[in-house]
Amino acid sequence: MHKYSETLTAAILACAAYHKQLFELPKNAIQIGAHAAKLEKFLTTSLNAQAIICESLFPGWYADLQNPGYLIRQAPPAFFRVPAHLVAVFPNGDILQRIWELANAVRIHSSSIVCLSGSNVVKQIFEHVDDVDFCEYLPLSGGNAVADAVMSRAGGSDNLICTAVNACGLEWTPTSNNIEFRDSLVSTDFRIVDRSTLKMDFISRAAEIRPQDVTNLAIICDEDFKSSGFSKTFSFQEAHVSASDYVPNKLSNASEMGRYVWWLTTQVKKYKQERNLVKALKRALSLTRVCWMHNFSDEIKDFLSKTCLTIDQEIATSKVMKSRMATQANVSWSGELEKIDAHIDLLNAERHAFLFKQNVFYPGGEEVAAIKILSDILKYVSVKSGGVLQ
């Protein structure tokens, strides 16, 4: 099992090296051929094998052999399709039902394929998650069909407030000119990269602890789920929250796998240099999961269970949310301020308890420990890629 995972890790890092070197070539020299085909053949076989292994390890999950690398879970009426490298850390229990309900609350159209994305996909590791991110593959091509669907969803609901919509370079808020904004929605087009996506921002009070920001990135597709907007997202960080057997983006695509791993590597470096260590650790966790580097994933998980960094971030985020909620005119949401205050009080108590343990866990300080983990991961990736991913 260990040697097998190492071989898969090497193949995935080879995809990243392939992507990086391919797109550094002059355009007339870019050719996708036998090398990519060989990588994809190996990925297909290996990801199916990993899905079968995960099926035996995680009851309730079943390998989807028609879509290499995925497992499915049926919890009627909810349905999930999750990449094998995320199953071990995917939310479970009552959270699954809440995710399903929230996905359907922000869904723009009934024929869409909605996916959970971001930190909530690894909820079992990140206790405190700032917001909830969805990606929706919207098969309406663009134009009036998209405008009608989005304007209808922008009305919100009792538990959901739509705060902004961004499309084709224009932002709509509840006080904006609806006619002007509708024109920007009508100009959406699945064939044009800059017009093939839109983003809807919400505040939800469906969460158990405090109101949360919810984002839905819509990829405008044609009726066959083809789109130039695929470059705006990654299937490897998405869990399908839709009762559909169609998968728009395959996990066995070597070029896409390489693009994702290369993006994660550059993101870890960027946030490490900026000393945004929580963000860097989140990207590093995604990198180590997709590359099947589980020893590093476990190290990140252990670190996050003994640090104040994520607690401090959650306190700051909660205070910002309280300030925003105080401006809401909706009287029925007034009780949410009390929820936030109670949550902040608990976080401060938790932080106080952790401070007594910091010298034991991290004699050199939390930041030094986090930077060492990140540096070790980047060094390993560089070595295993033959120095290409430096």
Mean pLDDT of the region 55-63: 94
What's the pLDDT at 158?
Answer: 78
Examine the pLDDT at 264 and tell me if it is beyond 90.
yes
180 vs 200 pLDDT, higher one: 200
What whole-number distance in Å separates Cα of residue 295 and Cα of residue 377? 10
What's the pLDDT at 128?
Answer: 65
34 vs 281 pLDDT, higher one: 281
Q: What is the DSSP string of 144-184?
A: HHHHHHHHHHTT-BTTEEEEEEEETTEEE-TTS-HHHHHHH
What's the pLDDT at 29?
Answer: 55
pLDDT in tens, 79-94: 999 999 999 888 877 7
Examine the pLDDT at 270 and tell me if it is beyond 80.
yes
DSSP secondary structure code for residue 274 in this structure: T
Examine the pLDDT at 324 and tell me if it is beyond 90.
no
What's the pLDDT at 1?
Answer: 41
Percent of the chain beyond pLDDT 70? 91
What's the pLDDT at 373?
Answer: 95
136 pLDDT tier (thresholds 50, 70, 90):
very high
Domain boundaries in the chain?
70-250, 309-359
What's the pLDDT at 351?
Answer: 84
Instruction: Assess contact for 241 and 80: CB atoms under 8 A.
Output: yes
Residue 126 in 3-state DSSP? Answer: coil
The two three-digit tokens of residue 344, written as one number: 């902040």
Residue holding tokens 């009934």?
A: 110
pTM of this structure: 0.89
What's the pLDDT at 379?
Answer: 95
7 vs 145 pLDDT, higher one: 145
Mean pLDDT of the region 223-246: 90
What's the pLDDT at 359?
Answer: 61
What's the pLDDT at 52?
Answer: 95
Examine the pLDDT at 146 and tell me if it is beyond 60.
yes
What's the pLDDT at 2?
Answer: 45
304 pLDDT tier (thresholds 50, 70, 90):
confident
356 pLDDT tier (thresholds 50, 70, 90):
low
Task: Kindly report the average pLDDT of the chain as a whole number.
Answer: 87
362 pLDDT tier (thresholds 50, 70, 90):
confident
From the list 309, 361, 318, the residue with the least C-alpha distance to 338 is 318
**Alpha helices, DSSP H only, in the chain?**
2-22, 34-57, 84-87, 94-106, 144-153, 178-186, 254-273, 277-290, 294-304, 309-325, 335-355, 358-361, 366-384
From the list 80, 88, 99, 15, the residue with the least C-alpha distance to 51 is 88
Mean pLDDT of the region 334-359: 82
What whole-number distance in Å separates Cα of residue 219 and Cα of residue 214? 16
What's the pLDDT at 90?
Answer: 86
310 pLDDT tier (thresholds 50, 70, 90):
confident
The two three-digit tokens of residue 274, written as one number: 């900026």
Least confident of 86-95, 135-144, 183-192: 86-95
Mean pLDDT of the region 205-223: 88
List beta partners, residue 197.
219
The two three-digit tokens of residue 99, written as one number: 């995710």
